[in-house]
Amino acid sequence: MFRNLRSEMARYNITIEQMAATTGISLKSLRDKLSGKTTLYFEDVLKIKAAFSKPFEVNYLFAELIEQVR
């Protein structure tokens, strides 16, 4: 889930552990949220988006989530 997010994490060499530390979301919780096991709240989306030095659009990083809403 979230192919673009995972691609950008790889491009910027950001591990899931680093993302968890940067966002303040526990590693287990972040893994569960990104795999779709638990709810990904908008607050989480904003924290994850802010972890990147480049200002990505939410609709790009979380395209699958946006498609569910449409």
Each residue's pLDDT tens digit, 39-66: 999 999 999 999 998 999 999 999 998 7
pLDDT for the residue 14: 96
33-44 mean pLDDT: 95
Q: Angle at the Cα of 58 (from 29 to 23), degrees rounded to 5?
A: 35
Q: What is the mean pLDDT of residues 15-39?
A: 97
Task: Indicate the number of domains in the chain.
Answer: 1
Residue partners of 22: CB distance under 8 A and separation at least 6: 14, 51
What's the CA gap between 44 and 39, in Å, rounded?
Answer: 10
Q: Which domain holds residue 8?
A: 3-69
CATH number of domain containing 44: 1.10.260
Q: What is the pTM of this model?
A: 0.89
C-alpha neighbours within 13 Å on the C-beta side of residue 1: 17
Q: How many residues are recorded in the chain?
A: 70
Q: What pLDDT does residue 70 have?
A: 64
Q: Picking from 13-22, 26-35, 51-60, which range would have the lowest pLDDT averaged per residue?
A: 51-60
